[in-house]
Amino acid sequence: MSLTDAAFEAEPVHAEVVHGKGPWQLAWERLRRDKAAVISMVVIVLVALLAILAPLFALITGHDPLTQYPSTALTPEGLPVGPGADFWLGADSLGRDLFVRLAYGARISLLVGLSATFLATLFGVIVGLLAGYYGGWVDGVLARVLDVVLSFPYLLVAIVLVAAVGASVSLTIFVIAFFSFAAMARVVRGQTIGYREREFTEAVRSLGASPLRIMVIDVLPNLVAPVTVLASLLIPTSIVFEATLSFLGLGVDPRTPSWGAILADSTDFYRVAPGLLVFPAVLLLLTTLAFNLLGDGIRDALDPKR
Amino acid sequence: MWRFLIRRIVFGIVVLWLVATTVFLLFFAGPADNVARRLAGPRAPIEVVEQIKDTLGLDRPLFTQYLGFLGDLLRGDLGTSFISQTPVSTLILQSLPGTLWLVFGAAVLWMIMGVGGGVLSATKPRSLRDRTLTVLVLAGISLPTFVLGILMIYLALSVFPGTGLQPGPYISPFVDVGAFLSTMVMPWVCLAVVQAAVYVRLTRGSMLDTMGEDYIRTARAKGVPERGVVYRHGLRAALTPVITQFGVDVGTLLGGVVVTESVFGLQGIGQLMIRSVRDGDLPVIIGAAILAAAFIVIANILVDVTYSFLDPRVRLA
């Protein structure tokens, strides 16, 4: 074992002399040259800061996301005040601070987007590796399950589940993860089938490596690129799905500030207060667009053909 | 062909049975009192809970209830709405036209936009035209349907009030064509724009693959005009994955265009479903879910049959 490992690792002897670049270093340099991807990263960092610093904004403005401030936030006619020094982006129809609510909403969006994507990736990779590596009846059963999951109408299933067990953040995460894992598993399965027959897997197998070792140590590193690309595209899909569910009143608790719920609240008032519609819509759009652009950028950067 | 069709239909029935069983267990498994309480809602008085338990026979063994449920289903009896006391099948039939018109109108639009855009993109890859379309597609994919819908309503009502377009309940075109169009145009465009983005991407990818095939080179070599190469030889084969997606999408959407219907207040299956979930109107939820599953199963069978006509290489066994 030590002999073979040494033989594999002995390759970059001249690394310091030639300054050979690893595939990740190369991808990172390509990504940095991609203007759209860089701007997207900046946007994502800003949204993340908005989410992380939400309590700080609540402290500075003195406005809690759930409390109504009828005396300062509503005009004598009962209409919400516009953007200003006190309410940065104005107030909503109930006299709550729109900016503070959007900042807390960013937490929900990122929480759901990231955790659903993480779960989907984890299960997708496991199922895909097993189906692709073992083939035969294991693959037959798993591939059939994936087909069924992929043909399910997302939103309708979510609605039925909400009707049966009640709406919650964890249910939202679970539903998104459940429906996204199949796409991930299918990609991983296809790639694994390709790698299973390659010479290097053949070689470690003949050295007596266990299936687990082959899957995790020999096949998995080759799948990092497609998995990263797909995962980066799953994040915006999850964010949109959460917003949609909350907009329909089926996602998080309606009082919780979520971008979808804030947009749903705005529908009755945007004629008098367009900011209620425009600010959350733009924020949601910027976030999903940034994640999608970054995903495309990562794909291009990791593509060995370019 | 017939053998294939029969096998697919049997498989489809099995899928529907599984869906019905899952939905049944989801709502009815558990102690009778808990089930009745869940159906009645958390604030309903105890008398209502007891009444629900009696009328639905929730005290009976689960398997007996299940057989009753399946029996009713086979007879086409979907039960009666808790809220309006109307048969569920009546409610569904009332909501179906809105959804049907919405889906078919939007489908025509998105196929034209999607396949047209895909072909424009793929015939000149990496051109300015291709890049512009790619950016538009990305914007379309990032744009949540409900945000697009709200923005459209805002524009139509507040910014350009002269268009006459307005959101509102479904009006049959056989009653008032003008009112039908003024309420349907926005939902059509909204649904079509979001869908078209996916179709441009799909058609472009599929078209690029096909145009690299040997038989395309053969067609060019034997002097087929470029138009003929693109449309008769290229597009026809490239459409196969597009048709699959189209069948699946139409089937899924017929079960309720939940978001678009909700945003525009268009009464359809999706709207009916959302309302029933809010009201806890269980028979309607179950009925609509099974209907949605049936549409998907039928659409999938139709897609497979269409394959054999589109692609001469596919023979159904």
Q: Name residues whose C-beta falls within 8 Å of residue B74's C-beta, 6 or more positions apart in sequence.
A: none
| Shortest CA gap A117–chain B (Å) | 17
Q: Which of B82, B146, B148, B296 best tests the A interface by mutation, with the highest count of A CBs <10 A?
A: B146
Q: In the prediction, which pLDDT does B90 show?
A: 92
* pLDDT at residue number B264: 92
Q: For residues A282 and A233, what is the distance between their CA atoms, to the nearest angstrom? A: 19
Cβ contact A219:A133 at 8 Å: yes
Contact B282 A163 (CB under 8 A): yes
The DSSP string of B253-284 is HHT--HHHHHHHT--SHHHHHHHHHHHT-HHH
User: What is the reported pLDDT for A17?
Assistant: 62
Q: Which residues of B touch A293 (CB under 8 A)?
A: 138
* CA of B147 vs chain A CAs: smallest distance (Å): 6
∠ Cα B273 B274 B280 (to 5°): 85
Give the nearest partner residue to A160 out of B150, B154, B289, using CB atoms: B289
Q: How far is A247 from chain B (nearest CA, A)?
A: 8
- Distance (Å, whole) CA A206 – CA B87: 67
pLDDT at A13 over 80: no
Element (H, E) at B195: helix B177-211
Cross-chain Cβ contact B147/A289 below 8 Å = no
- How do residues A220-269 score in pLDDT, each as one tens digit? 888 888 898 889 889 998 999 899 988 888 877 777 788 888 888 887 77
Q: Which residues of B touch A (CB under 8 A)?
A: 15, 23, 26-27, 138-139, 141-147, 150-151, 154, 157-158, 248, 252, 255-256, 258-259, 262, 273-274, 276-278, 280, 282, 285, 289, 292, 296, 300
- Which residue of chain B is at minimal alpha-carbon distance from A282? B147
Q: What is the pLDDT of residue A216?
A: 86
Residues of A in contact with B277 (CB under 8 A): 159, 162-163, 250
Which is nearest to B292 in space by CA: B244, B245, B261, B251?
A: B251
Interface probe, candidates B147, B166, B261, B276, chain A, greatest A C-beta count within 10 A: B147
Apex B69 CA angle, B67 and B74, nearest 5: 90
- Return the pLDDT at A3: 47
CA nearest to B276 within chain A? A163
Give the per-residue pLDDT at B100: 94
Which pLDDT score, from 0 to 100, does residue A2 have? 47
Can you tell me the ipTM of this complex? 0.81
A154 vs B92: CA distance, rounded Å: 21
Q: What is the pLDDT of residues A52-94, one digit of tens each?
A: 998 888 888 878 888 888 777 777 777 777 787 777 787 787 7
- Asked whether residue A201 carries a pLDDT value surpassing 60, the answer given is yes
Closest of A196, A160, A144 to residue B26, by C-alpha: A160
Q: What is the pLDDT along chain B (317 residues), one digit of tens a residue?
A: 788 888 888 988 988 898 889 888 888 877 777 777 777 766 778 887 888 778 777 778 888 889 988 888 888 888 888 778 889 999 999 999 999 999 999 999 999 999 999 999 888 888 898 888 988 888 888 888 999 998 888 888 877 887 778 888 888 888 888 889 889 999 999 999 999 999 998 999 899 888 888 888 999 999 989 888 888 888 888 888 898 889 888 988 998 888 999 999 888 999 999 888 888 788 898 899 889 888 988 988 888 888 767 666 665 54
Say whether pLDDT at A14 is over 70: no
Which residues of chain A make contact with B274, given a CB cutoff of 8 A? 159, 248-250
Do B285 and A163 lie within an 8 Å CB cutoff? yes
**How does the average pLDDT of chain A come out, rounded?**
83
| pLDDT value of position A11 | 52
- pTM for this model (two decimals): 0.83
Residue A16 has pLDDT above 60, yes or no: no
Q: Is the pLDDT of residue A168 over 60?
A: yes
Chain A nearest-CA distance from B82, in A, is 14
Q: Which residue has the higher pLDDT, A168 or A129?
A: A129
Q: What is the least distance, in Å, from the CA of A214 to any CA of chain B?
A: 33
